[in-house]
């Protein structure tokens, strides 16, 4: 088997994030190609057939998950990486960190993502709601600590507070506030691009 530069990038991704699905691979490594999902499926199957990676079928999504150890990630991490690949396919990702901790509020977000859209930076504090709902107290605590605003000022030169992105089964959230934006989307991210 020939290891092209793109194949090595896929393997590096698996090494860093511990797994990949065909849909994620298509969004990230075959972006703007003709038939990206088919190309990704062929590449991952070739890696599997040659013993480079293992695969397991996720019992909920029925997708094959490719990894070095043959693991199936928890749905929480799977949806986070699906969101990352969705955004990667559409925007330039400036910053991505899983489990960003905010010390002053003693809180953390499932992910902190910054994209470039229409020559502007758009920040997102992501919460994946599977077994519990993200509550207003958590958001309020993060906002009121001022730590996020200071982080943006230190890193990008202006005080800014990103949107909270709530990902859940029905794509709805009943938290309303004038202090910060709360956007809800479903597990397939339907309509998210229009809301950002």
Pair 47, 96: CB distance under 8 Å: no
Chain segment 75-130, per-residue pLDDT in tens: 889 999 999 999 999 999 999 999 999 988 889 999 999 999 999 999 999 999 98
Total-model pTM: 0.91
Is the model's pLDDT at 59 over the cut of 90?
no
Chain segment 136-170, per-residue pLDDT in tens: 899 999 999 999 999 999 999 998 999 999 999 99
Average pLDDT on 172-189 reads 91
Average pLDDT on 172-187 reads 91
Ordered domains of the chain (ranges, CATH): 5-73 (1.10.10.10), 87-195 (3.40.1350)
Is the model's pLDDT at 133 over the cut of 90?
no
pLDDT the model gives residue 9: 97
Q: Give the confidence band of 72 by pLDDT, cuts at 50, 70, 90.
A: confident
pLDDT the model gives residue 127: 95
């Amino acid at each position: 088997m020939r290891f092209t530069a793109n194949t090595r990038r896929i393997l590096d991704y698996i090494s860093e994030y511990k797994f990949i699905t065909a849909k994620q691979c298509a969004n990230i490594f075959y972006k703007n190609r003709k038939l990206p999902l088919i190309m990704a499926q062929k590449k991952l199957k070739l890696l599997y057939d040659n013993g480079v990676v293992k695969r397991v079928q996720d019992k909920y999504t029925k997708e094959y998950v490719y990894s070095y150890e043959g693991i199936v990630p928890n749905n929480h991490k799977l949806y986070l990486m699906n969101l990352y690949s969705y955004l990667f396919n559409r925007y330039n990702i400036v910053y991505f960190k899983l489990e960003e901790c905010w010390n002053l509020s003693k809180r953390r977000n499932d992910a902190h993502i910054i994209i470039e859209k229409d020559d502007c930076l758009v920040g997102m504090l992501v919460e994946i709601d599977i077994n519990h709902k993200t509550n207003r107290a958590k958001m309020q605590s993060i906002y009121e600590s001022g730590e996020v605003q200071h982080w943006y000022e230190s890193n990008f030169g202006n005080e800014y507070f990103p949107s909270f992105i709530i990902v859940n089964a029905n794509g709805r959230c009943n938290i309303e506030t004038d202090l910060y934006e709360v956007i809800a989307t479903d597990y397939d991210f339907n309509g998210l691009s229009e809301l950002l």
